[in-house]
Amino acid sequence: MKSESLQRELRQAILHARRRIYEMGEATPLDLIPLKEPDLEIFVKREDLSPIHAYKWRGAYNRMAQLSDAELRIGVITASAGNHAQGVALAAQRLDTRAIIYMPLSTPRMKQVAVQRHGGEHVEIRLLGDSYDQASAAAHECAAQDGLTYIHAYDDLAVMAGQGTLADEIVMSGKGPFDVAYLQIGGGGMAAATASWLKINYPDIHIVGVEGTQQASMAAAVAAGHPVTLDHVDVFCDGTAVRKVGRLTHQICADLIDAWVTVSNDEVSAAIQFLWEELRCIPEPSGAMGVAAILKQRAVLANKRVLSVLCGANMDFEQLANIAQRAAVGAARRRFLKIQIPEKPGAMYGLLDAMPDSVSIMDFQYGKTDAEKAGPVIGFDVAPMEFDVLCQALENKSYSYHEVTTESDVGFRLIHYDSKLMHRPIFITLEFHERPGALAQFLKAVSPHANLCYFNYVYSGERVGRALLGFEFADKQNHVSFEAVLESAQHAYRTYERVSSDTLQRIIGS
């Protein structure tokens, strides 16, 4: 089928899907985020507020609601590691049919629980393989053997039509027209249907396809002229981690997507933080990809009305820590420097004292590895101009430094140290008021009595900071009297706790 004919059929199917979709759920909001620098308006379609906190239920229900009574009696089958599985489960429960859902063994338990919650006794989850491709192959084989209807996640006209109803809601909101729409792409169903509906209603709209830097399967298909299989896809944005796009979705996207952009995992994390700050919502990584692309290209979007789809918010809670760490890097605010200082008492305080008061230290990683010199890694939350001021201040004090923001050791917070170089060490956990200069004030108080040989601190967003600090001593007397030194420095911290001998042995192995 030619693309133009396919698009006409899809648009007709979207009209017919309206009734089915609104039997199940209400229209989701279209929220506005106004930006001043540069001046632009970002409109965000809030699919995170849908029945399964993602748009995928639309396509699954629209497809399954058109099955015959005989097909419903036999049941359906699909493969999915996430939102599509929840959509099929919800539809199975509502339509009183059974659904077998194949999921990879690595599927997070949270998503398995969500599928079971939406489907109840109507759903059977089968965990198989290490990848979606393996689960999908098994599901197709089972469908052929047992005569079950396979519900595709994206390459099905009825599924695409259901997903396209979100675009219909955008048009019906009356908030258009829009200059540019940024649509994230996995298999391509939502992007194809949304682009088709937006183009027919806003002929001048510019459609940008958004993919992850190691997920660009649709751009590869468009370049090749047909769907191709990527050797590897990154799974940080797991909702769009598709190795091969659909045949139908490729035809439409190849015709309707005007430009392509890729976003990194750090940029997506920054977009998640942006959406939290602006809308108090926390999307899953794939859900924030469109906004990530907008923020990446914001300089050329001045005075534009820009549209994006927040397509889902189903994410393991544990992933938030990784996202928070990546967000500042993605927004070009978090910069890490490794700075050379002498390995001697007072050197660390001298370094902190040399820094401008305006800089915020968000991360501190240091372990003693050399008897003569030290190289603490410090993470700063700074704007570009503030970073320049910081670097100039270090140069004015003759400190040698280099940037290590992208180094793996820094990202994983691998703090190297040589325990054999630590003399009579004492480790403490320190809790201090989270304010500029607090750590420097503490180090100033204790530096005359001890040398800092270990420093592990990361900003947690709380009113208090917590650090694990190690001190070494040139003689036994200073070692014995250090407790009294800490007591005398109470003005510089809230509480401290000495690490026990057993724990110290586990930390430094001596």
Predicted confidence at residue 125, as pLDDT, reads 96
Q: Read off the pLDDT band of 176 (50, 70, 90).
A: very high
How many residues are there in the chain? 510
Residue 321, pLDDT score:
81
Q: Find the mean pLDDT for residues 396-400.
A: 95
The answer on 197 and 281 residing in a single domain is yes
Beta partners for residue 307, in sequence order: 43, 181
Last residue of a domain, one of 150, 167, 185: 150
Between these two residues, 468 and 329, which has the higher pLDDT value?
468
Beta pairing class for 334-342 and 377-381: antiparallel
Write down the pLDDT at residue 69. 96
- Check residues 508 and 199 and name the one with the higher pLDDT: 199
Per-residue pLDDT of 456-485, as tens digits, reads 999 888 888 899 999 999 899 999 999 999
Specify the pLDDT at position 1: 60
Which residue, of 308, 327, 346, is where some domain finishes? 327
- The whole-number average pLDDT for the span 90-99 is 97
Same domain (yes/no): 72, 51: no
The per-residue pLDDT for 507 is 65
Tell me, letter by letter, the H, E, C secondary structure of 423-491.
CCCEEEEEEEECCCCHHHHHHHHHCCCCEEEEEEEECCCCCEEEEEEEEECCCHHHHHCHHHHHHHCHH
* pLDDT above 70 as % of the chain: 97
CATH code for the domain of 352 = 3.40.1020.10
Say what percent of the chain tops pLDDT 90.
Answer: 76
Q: Which domain holds residue 311?
A: 3-55+157-327
- Total domain count for the chain? 3
263 with 164, same domain? yes
pLDDT, residue 3, reads 79
Whether 510 shows a pLDDT value over 60: the answer reads no
Question: Does residue 208 sit in the same domain as residue 96?
Answer: no
Question: pLDDT by residue (tens digit) across 233-254?
Answer: 998 998 999 999 999 999 999 9
Q: For residue 174, what pLDDT band results from cuts at 50, 70 and 90?
A: very high
Classified as helix, coil or strand, 471 is: strand
CATH code, domain with 13: 3.40.50.1100
Full DSSP string of 285-318: GGGGHHHHHHHHTGGG-TT-EEEEEE-B----TT
Q: How many Cα atoms occupy the beta-carbon half-sphere of 212 within 13 Å? A: 25
**Mean pLDDT score, 80-90:** 93
Name the band, by pLDDT with cuts 50, 70 and 90, for residue 375. Answer: very high
Residue finishing a domain among 150, 173, 199: 150
Secondary structure of residue 252 in the 3-state scheme: helix
The span from the CA of 262 to the CA of 389, in Å, is 32
Task: Specify whether 312 is located in the same domain as 238.
Answer: yes
Same domain, 236 and 303: yes
Eight-state DSSP code of residue 153? S
Same domain, 456 and 372: yes
Q: How many CA atoms lie within 13 A of 129 on its CB side?
A: 15
pLDDT value, residue 214: 93
Q: Work out the average pLDDT over 92-115.
A: 92
Give yes or no for residue 5 having a pLDDT over 60. Answer: yes
The predicted structure's pLDDT at residue 364: 94
- Binning the chain into helix, strand and coil, the percentages to the nearest 5 are 45, 20, 30
Structure confidence at residue 394 as a pLDDT band (50, 70, 90): very high
In this prediction, residue 331 carries a pLDDT of 62
CA distance 88 to 322: 30
> Do 303 and 261 share a structural domain?
yes
Residues 63 and 110 in one domain: yes
The whole-chain average pLDDT of the chain stands at: 92
- Residue 121 scores a pLDDT above 90: yes
Are 467 and 448 in a shared domain? yes
Tokens of 460: 């947690």
What pLDDT score does 330 carry? 59
Whether pLDDT at 336 is above 60: yes
The confidence band for 329, taking pLDDT boundaries of 50, 70 and 90, is: low
Residues 383 and 420 in one domain: yes
Q: What is the pLDDT of residues 414-429, one digit of tens each?
A: 999 998 999 999 999 9
Q: In this structure, are 130 and 198 located in the same domain?
A: no
- For residue 332, is pLDDT > 90? no
